[in-house]
A and B are shown apart, each in its own frame.
Chain A
Amino acid sequence: MENTKKNWPLWEIFVRSKNGLEHRHFGSLHAADAEMALENARDVYTRRNEGVSIWVVESKHITASNPADNGELFEPAQDKVYRHPTFYDLPDEVKHM
Chain B
Amino acid sequence: MSEKDVKNLEEIFETRIARDEKIEPKDWMPEKYRQTHIRQISQHAHSEVVGMLPEGNWITRAPSLRRKAALLAKVQDEAGHGLYLYSACETLGVSRDELYEQLHSGKAKYSSIFNYPTITWADMGAIGWLVDGAAIINQVPLCNTSFGPYARAMVRVCKEESFHQRQGFEIMLTLCRGTEEQKAMAQDALNRWWWPSLMMLGPTDAESIHTEQSMKWKLKRKSNDELRQQFIDQTVPQADLLGLTIPDPDLKFNEETGHYDFGEIDWDEFWQVVKGHGPCNKERMNARVNAWKNGEWVRDAAMAYAEKNEKRKVAKAS
Contact = CB atoms under 8 A, between A and B. Distances in A.
Contacts of B88: 27
B205 interface: no
Interface string B146-157: 000000110000
* Chain B interface helix/strand/loop/mixed: helix
Given A44-B80, A47-B80, A67 B303 contact: no
Contact of A48 (B87, B97, B160): B160
Nearest to B98: A2
A36 B160 CA distance: 24
B84 interface: yes
Central interface residue in A6, A27, A33, A66, by most chain B CB within 10 Å: A27
B5 to A, nearest CB: 13
A44 B303 contact: no
B83 A10 contact: no
A7 B309 contact: no
Interface string B134-156: 00000000000000000011000
Nearest to A3: B97
Given A27-B84, A27-B153, A44-B80, A7 B160 contact: no
Interface string B16-36: 000000001011100000000
Given A36-B302, A47-B77, A10 B90 contact: yes
Contact of B306 (A10, A28, A32, A66): A32
Interface in A1-47: 2, 5-8, 10, 27-30, 32-33, 36, 43-44, 47
A64 interface: yes
A44 B81 CA distance: 8
Contacts of A44: 80, 83-84
A10 B97 CA distance: 12
Interface in A56-81: 64, 66-68
A66 B24 CA distance: 11
B77 A67 contact: no
A67 B27 contact: yes
Interface size class of B (residues with CB under 8 A): 20 to 34
B76 interface: yes
A67 B25 CA distance: 10
Interface in B80-107: 80, 83-84, 87-88, 90, 95-97
A8 B303 contact: yes
Given A8-B302, A32-B305, A47-B77, A2 B87 contact: no
Given A27-B87, A33-B306, A48-B160, A67 B153 contact: no
Interface string B280-318: 000000000000000000011011011101100000000
Interface in B46-90: 73, 76-77, 80, 83-84, 87-88, 90
A42 B306 CA distance: 19
A28 B96 contact: no
Give the one of B24, B77, B153, B302 with max A CB within 10 A.
Answer: B302
A67 B87 contact: no
Contacts of B160: 47-48
Given A10-B90, A44-B80, A67 B26 contact: yes
B145 to A, nearest CB: 16
9 contacts: A8-B299, A8-B303, A27-B87, A33-B310, A44-B80, A44-B84, A47-B80, A48-B160, A67-B24
Interface of B: 24, 26-28, 73, 76-77, 80, 83-84, 87-88, 90, 95-97, 152-153, 160, 299-300, 302-303, 305-307, 309-310
Interface of A: 2, 5-8, 10, 27-30, 32-33, 36, 43-44, 47-48, 64, 66-68
Given A44-B84, A64-B26, 9 more contacts: A2-B97, A28-B90, A30-B96, A32-B303, A32-B305, A33-B310, A43-B80, A47-B80, A67-B27
